[in-house]
Structure 1
């Protein structure tokens, strides 16, 4: 497979920068291919990209993680006016060495591609680009210093705060590496927020956090995640048959080489499940998600835990769960795993961190458990009060349908990109 894949087609509609009166296309830069939407960051980038394509022709620059991504390039061909997707195969060790030499965050080195840099430069020369949408702060390295057009930076989460938390909880060399990362990322976040026309975060809590860390930010605001309520509908799937056996069955979904998820499932297996099984000896905990690392795999068989790993579709596992759990101790932004479980009408018990950014009410739409003993107590209560558990799941889905669909979440995107309501109305009238 060639390092870079590009495609071109005729641009379909004009783009207008509000106030400036400049027409042009959109350049969308993402650290991962936005297809398929099967993990948190890709779900967000997928829906934002599709919405941007309804505003103006979009040119997409992103990185392929592995060969499977190239099987989805036809989706870029159908959506994008042009695209570049080089293979991002740099090892973490190499990225770390480059970061030391360049005096930059490791995450910047990890997502650097000469092919993509070259394509962006040529696209800005060749195409009529009026705005750049940067998805994830690491991709800001591809925006030229002299770029004078509209710049939207979607940080999603405050990454510097995440690495700061890692450093405070860590020990030895890893804690030092994480401390270096958060200090460098904090400076970059400050520079981006001062430069961008708008800096976006996934929740008001994340936006407030960045404002407190970045006094020179020009326009820091929330652009919340949504959900495809038609896709995540319990009526559209059959529950995983394995979950029909004795239980109760608790399910956690997520990318299982991601540190906060690893900590969460370790906590559930080693601290919560032993107490649960004193009262419910048949209780089982299922870890569903791709790339479980050694620490996660080692949990298999402990205290009723099974490591399922990657599955083609998480919905049957959510549909069959008695309770979906999210005992995260470190969480940034809005947890898609929680919204998805709520949309599937499941009772959900979350930590306070996992509840951040979801404007639902505890004990009405989901349940917040402050600590391990609270998780145990609330799981035991739901096992006993099955009608209350069902009502909680029903209310959860209704809340998500009413308040968290993607169209509602992205309604302000045209304005953010500089398209006024009158211009959009004129475009609709012309069509």
Structure 2
């Protein structure tokens, strides 16, 4: 099958969840199908990144840069059309013309687009091609949760964006023959009467790459949290961890130290640096962050989707502590695969218990690794996607 794939970001390096999901799906789809990739980018794409992706694109690799003046204009035009900012930001008329030309020259048998950001590019071909959209997670719910916690002066903007996203997620449903999403929890949040038609295609984890002992730790820490540190739910989680949970842990473990690891840390994350809290920024190999700490903590309060950071930490054999919001998508058994807490007191108690009982912590880490090996396999999840694309 000849497959045209549309992405809102170039899928390498693997520093954001949508890029990681796209890269691994491409890697497996390319084994059986001829893939032509069209990817937008709002940042430079290195030769190394192209070299990682090009072998997966036997049908062609096309990268369309978005510049800041153009993005501003496109967002303004999108606003006039009633689009969410998430859609307007990524819609560029020149890119649409290029995709039209690709459909003519490549003649795909099917088109697959990731995220509602790319839905407008696929929309014109609804009568000509079988279209599949990967919602991945639910932007509208993430924005609504952010609005609820935003300063009062920002709240109307976030609430309007959440409303438009909700409407757009429902409206674009009808343009596509097939629909996928990362978890059942997210599927239930799509405001459409036929949402049960959306197929759950979970993420996977490379348990050969992410494994205990794969790398040496740079420096010992007690707690670690990883992720894109410019992403608002991660920023919020980092603040909760550093300002409330860690101090509660230090009442029992006065020497406890925290590492916040991940790309592009926001100013709010950088401000958390102290003798007890380190902020790494980009790391060439994120496995060293997981290997550095005794406990991985993901105190997610907002956001949607499946937390790849949890899959990676569990695959590395780290004992993990998280919140119900994150575990509802993961479906791990609390007390067996992860420890789950709803508030500062519960999360701190779990962390303190693991720090005080190394044998129990090791057992939880081993059980967590077994869980992700059994339930999160890229080949199995992408085979499910491939069957859908071929239907």
Whether 1:164 and 2:164 are equivalent positions in the alignment is no
Q: Are the equivalent residues in 1 in contact too, given 2:296–2:321 (CA < 8 A)?
A: yes
Shift, 1:146, TM fit:
4.6
Partner Cα separation in structure 1 for residue 212 and residue 195 of structure 2 = 42
Q: 2:304 aligns with which of 327, 332, 348?
A: 332
What is the aligned residue count?
388
Q: Which runs of 5+ in 1 are unaligned?
A: 1-14, 16-24, 420-431
Partner of residue 92, structure 2: 113
Partner Cα separation in structure 1 for residue 44 and residue 72 of structure 2 = 21
Partner of residue 55, structure 2: 78
Partner Cα separation in structure 1 for residue 133 and residue 153 of structure 2 = 31
Shift, 1:107, TM fit:
1.2
What are the residue-to-residue correspondences of 1:306-325 with 2, within 5 Å?
306-325=278-297
Distance 1:169 1:316, change over 3 A: same
Shift, 1:51, TM fit:
2.3
Q: Are the equivalent residues in 1 in contact too, given 2:132–2:177 (CA < 8 A)?
A: yes
- Post-superposition Cα deviations, 1:18-42, rounded to whole Å, max 9, x if no partner, equal xxxxxxx211001111123333111
Partner Cα separation in structure 1 for residue 322 and residue 348 of structure 2 = 12
Partner of residue 228, structure 1: 206
Partner Cα separation in structure 2 for residue 85 and residue 288 of structure 1 = 29
Task: Give the match's secondary structure for 1:38.
Answer: coil
Task: Give the match's secondary structure for 1:85.
Answer: strand
Higher mean C-alpha displacement, 113-122 vs 283-292: 113-122
Partner of residue 183, structure 2: 203
Partner of residue 284, structure 1: 257
What are the residue-to-residue correspondences of 1:128-277 with 2, within 5 Å?
128-148=107-127, 149-210=129-190, 213-217=191-195, 219-240=197-218, 242-243=219-220, 249-277=222-250
Task: Give the match's secondary structure for 1:316.
Answer: helix
Distance 1:235 1:275, change over 3 A: closer
Shift, 1:371, TM fit:
0.8
Higher mean C-alpha displacement, 79-88 vs 97-106: 97-106
Shift, 1:95, TM fit:
5.4
Partner Cα separation in structure 2 for residue 35 and residue 52 of structure 1 = 16
Partner of residue 28, structure 2: 51
Task: Give the match's secondary structure for 2:67.
Answer: coil
Q: Are the equivalent residues in 1 in contact too, given 2:145–2:303 (CA < 8 A)?
A: no
Distance 1:218 1:340, change over 3 A: closer
Partner Cα separation in structure 1 for residue 215 and residue 334 of structure 2 = 27
Whether 1:412 and 2:389 are equivalent positions in the alignment is no
TM-score by length of 2: 0.94
Q: Are the equivalent residues in 2 in contact too, given 1:197–1:218 (CA < 8 A)?
A: no
Q: Are the equivalent residues in 1 in contact too, given 2:341–2:347 (CA < 8 A)?
A: yes
Shift, 1:310, TM fit:
1.1
Shift, 1:93, TM fit:
5.5
- Post-superposition Cα deviations, 1:335-360, rounded to whole Å, max 9, x if no partner, equal 00001000000000001112122122
Shift, 1:140, TM fit:
0.7
Whether 1:346 and 2:285 are equivalent positions in the alignment is no
Partner of residue 20, structure 1: none
Task: Give the match's secondary structure for 1:132.
Answer: strand
Partner of residue 10, structure 1: none
Tell me how large the CA RMSD over aligned residues is.
Answer: 1.8
Q: 1:124 aligns with which of 89, 100, 103?
A: 103
Q: Are the equivalent residues in 2 in contact too, given 1:223–1:410 (CA < 8 A)?
A: yes
Partner of residue 327, structure 2: 355
Task: Give the match's secondary structure for 2:68.
Answer: coil
Higher mean C-alpha displacement, 29-38 vs 256-265: 29-38
Task: Give the match's secondary structure for 1:349.
Answer: strand
Q: Are the equivalent residues in 2 in contact too, given 1:197–1:219 (CA < 8 A)?
A: no
Q: 1:32 aligns with which of 2, 6, 9?
A: 9
Task: Give the match's secondary structure for 2:367.
Answer: helix
Partner Cα separation in structure 1 for residue 43 and residue 358 of structure 2 = 44
